[in-house]
Amino acid sequence: MFDYLNIIFLETYKILFLLVPVLVSVAMIVWLDRRVWAFVQKRRGPNVVGPFGLFQSLADALKYLFKEIIIPASANKIIFILAPIITMTLALIGWAVIPFGENFVVADINVGILYLFAVSSLSVYGIIMGGWASNSKYPFLGAIRSAAQMVSYEVSIGVIIINVLLCAGSLNLKDIVIAQENMWFIIPLFPMFVIFFISALAETNRPPFDLPEAEAELVAGYQTEYSGMMYAMFWLGEYANILLMCALGSILFLGGWLAPIEIFPFNFIPDFVWLIFKILFLFILFALVKAIVPRYRYDQLMKLGWKIFLPMSLIWVVLTASYLFYFNLLPGN
C-alpha cells in the first residue's frame, strides 16, 4: 500500500515539476514575443510593469482572472466550456515525453515521437469545438480555417519526421538525440528543417499563417466569443503548443540537450540548459517571422502546403532512404 502511494506521490511530483515551469515559461515567452516585435519595429514594448516590463504578463493574467466570463445565450454551453480546457490540456500533456537530459524525462516511452505527433494533432479539436459551440459566423469560419490548415501541414510534418526516423532508427526521443552525437540532423536534413519550421508556424496558427484568428477578417476568429479566464486558457494552450513545437524541432534537428562542441566550458553546462537555449532560439525566430513577414492569403497557404512542401518532403524521404541504403548507413546494419 505504501509503495503504491509512494509511486503516486513521485509521479505527481514529476508532473508538477514539469508543468509549473512550463506555465511560468509561457508568461515569460509572451513578454519575449512582445520585446522582439518592439525591437524589429524600433519601439519600446513592455517596459512599465516591473523591471523591463517583466511583470506585464503577470498583470495580464490577473486581468483575465478577474474579468467576467460571458457565455453567449445561443451557445452550446458544455462544448463552449470544454473547448479551452481541451486546448490547454493537450498542449501541456505533450511535454511528458520531452527529454531535457538523458535521465530527465517524465515518460520515457519507445514511441515518444508518435505520442507527441498524436497529441499535437488533437489540438485542432479544441479550436473546432470553440468555433462551433459559439454559434457565431466569425468563430465558425475561424474553426473551419484552422481544421483545414492544421491537417494540411501535419501531413508535411509527418513526412519530415520520417526522414529523421530513417537516420536515427528509433521512435524514442532520447535515442533520436543520442543519434546526433557526431552530427546534428540539421546538417544533412537542412531543407527538411526549413520546411518543418514553416509548417510549425502553420500548425500553431502563428503569423504569417494566423488566418484562423485574423483580426482584419474574423474579429478574433474562434476566440471571438470568449472572455476572461476561458480566453486566457486558449492563449496558454497556444503558447504552450508553440514552445512544444520549438522543443520538438530542437530534438529532431538541433541535437536536443547535446552541446554544440564538447570542450571546456561547454561540457560543464547542464544538459537541460542547452535544450532551453535551443527552444528560445527557435522561438525568437518565430517572433521575428511575425514581425517581418506579411500574412498569406488562404489559397496561398493551401498551395504552399499541398503543392510545394508535401512533394518536396516526399522526394527527400526517397533521397534519404536511397542514400542510407546505398552506403549501408541504415541504423541496425
Mean pLDDT for the stretch of residues 193-214: 84
Asked whether residue 48 is domain-assigned, the answer is no
Domain range enclosing 83: 68-326
Asked whether residue 274 is domain-assigned, the answer is yes
**pLDDT confidence bin for 149, thresholds 50/70/90:** confident
Mean pLDDT for the stretch of residues 190-206: 90
Mean pLDDT for the stretch of residues 230-245: 87
Asked whether residue 35 is domain-assigned, the answer is no
Residue 101's beta-bridge partner residues?
Answer: 104
**pLDDT tens per residue, range 57-106:** 888 888 888 888 888 888 888 888 898 888 888 888 888 889 888 888 88
Judged against a pLDDT cut of 80, whether residue 326 lies above it is answered with yes
Alpha carbon 34 to its chain centroid, in Å, reads: 18
Asked whether residue 108 is domain-assigned, the answer is yes
Per-residue pLDDT, 329: 79
Asked whether residue 15 is domain-assigned, the answer is no
Where helices occur in 54-170 by DSSP H, the ranges are: 56-66, 77-93, 112-133, 137-168
Residue 104's beta-bridge partner residues?
Answer: 101
Euclidean distance between CA atoms 94 and 106, whole angstroms: 11
Instruction: Report yes or no: 88 and 240 within 8 Å, Cβ to Cβ.
Output: yes
pTM: predicted TM-score of the whole model, two decimal places? 0.90
Per-residue pLDDT, 1: 57
Euclidean distance between CA atoms 316 and 163, whole angstroms: 7
Per-residue pLDDT, 333: 59
More confident position, 117 or 253: 253
Per-residue pLDDT, 264: 65
Per-residue pLDDT, 107: 79
Q: Over the chain, what is the mean pLDDT? A: 84
Per-residue pLDDT, 160: 92
- Maximum distance among all Cα pairs of the chain, rounded to whole angstroms: 65
Euclidean distance between CA atoms 301 and 305, whole angstroms: 6
Q: Total domain count for the chain?
A: 1
Asked whether residue 47 is domain-assigned, the answer is no
Asked whether residue 38 is domain-assigned, the answer is no
More confident position, 7 or 50: 50
Angle (CA) 166 171 176, round 5°: 70
Judged against a pLDDT cut of 90, whether residue 186 lies above it is answered with yes
Mean pLDDT for the stretch of residues 267-283: 87
Euclidean distance between CA atoms 289 and 147, whole angstroms: 22
- Percentage, residues of the chain above pLDDT 90: 19
Per-residue pLDDT, 285: 92
**pLDDT confidence bin for 196, thresholds 50/70/90:** very high
Euclidean distance between CA atoms 57 and 30, whole angstroms: 7
Grid cell in block for residue 292: 517581418
Which amino acid type is present at position 219? V
